[in-house]
Amino acid sequence: MQYFEQELSELKEQLLTMASLAEAAVNQAVQALHDRDDPLARRVWEADTGIDRLEVEIDETAITLLAKAPLASDLRLITVAMKISHDLERVGDEATKIAKRTLELNLEPPLKISLDIPGLARLAVDMLNGALDAFVHHDPAGARALSERDREVDALNRQIHDLLAHAMAADPQNISRGLNLMVIAKSLERIADHAVNIAEEVVYLCEALDIRHAKHLAPPGA
């Protein structure tokens, strides 16, 4: 049992390391976009390999642990760790996508349109932080609260999309930058979606309740 506990701790340690790297990647990608910082964008791109490697390592650890036939909360933690690591890997990919598009955007002068991409980035980053905090603190209520904020993210992304579509239709000069900004906004929206996935896994971890695809994230018995 002592050894099993140790291996379980290693799995958690790997997952928390990956969470920190994925959070950092998103934060830095958003920073690079905001500051038009090419070196920072390149560092985000390069760092994605570390996140990918951790996903593979977490799967290996989890499969080793599953072969030992864990039960109850141990079983939930291991299966949830595999799913969360997959979401974090995708978060890393989205951060890389933002970094790559930032590098392309930086080849041209900024587009003169008022877009709330910083607001969208703040929401997505907050949601990712919130989901990971809910995981750390075993907080299913905090995890459930994230679904409301996801609607704000979706609305803001649609608004940005419409503004960019309008700007591109108005002037073909805007198309290349407009498309890059659309991809970035979509990546931020996807990061928020992954945060919601992680939050759903936290609810399962804490309450053994599968709330995925539920119309409303209601507490048990509500």
Partner 1 sequence: MNQRPPTGRADPTAPAQGPAAPNGPEHPGPRLATAVDVQGLSVWFGPQQVLRKVSLQIPAQAVTAIIGPSGCGKSTFLRSLNRMHDLVPSARLEGRVALFGQDLYAPGTDPTQVRRRVGMVFQKSNPFPTMTIAENVTVGLRLNGLRRRDLLQEQLEASLRMAALWDEVKDRLHAPAVSLSGGQQQRLCIARALAVQPEVLLMDEPASALDPIATSRIEDLILELKKDFTIVIVTHNMQQAARMSDHTAFFYLGELIEFDRTKKIFTNPSKKQTEDYVTGRFG
Distance, in Å, from the CA atom of 121 to the CA atom of 152, rounded to the nearest integer, reads 12
Nearest alpha carbon to residue 196 among 162, 166, 154, 158: 154
Contacts with partner 1 by CB under 8 A lie at: 1, 4, 8, 12-13, 16-17, 19-21, 23-24, 27-28, 30-31, 69-77, 125, 129, 132, 135-138, 140, 205-208, 220-221
Pick 8 or 181: Cβ nearer partner 1: 8
The nearest distance, CB 24 to partner 1, in angstroms, is 5
SS3 137: coil
Quick one: tokens of 103? 């590098």
Q: Taking the complex as a whole, how short is the minimal distance between the CB of residue 34 and partner 1, in angstroms?
A: 10
Residue 104 or 207 with smaller CB distance to partner 1: 207
For residues 7 and 161, which CB has a smaller minimum distance to partner 1 in the complex?
7
Those residues whose C-beta lies under 8 Å from the C-beta of residue 108, and which sit 6 or more positions away, are 176, 177
When the beta carbons of 6 and 114 are compared against partner 1, the nearer one is 6
CB 205 within 8 A of CB 80: yes
Instruction: Report the C-alpha gap between 108 and 170 in whole angstroms.
Output: 18
Q: Shortest approach of partner 1 to residue 38 CB, angstroms?
A: 18
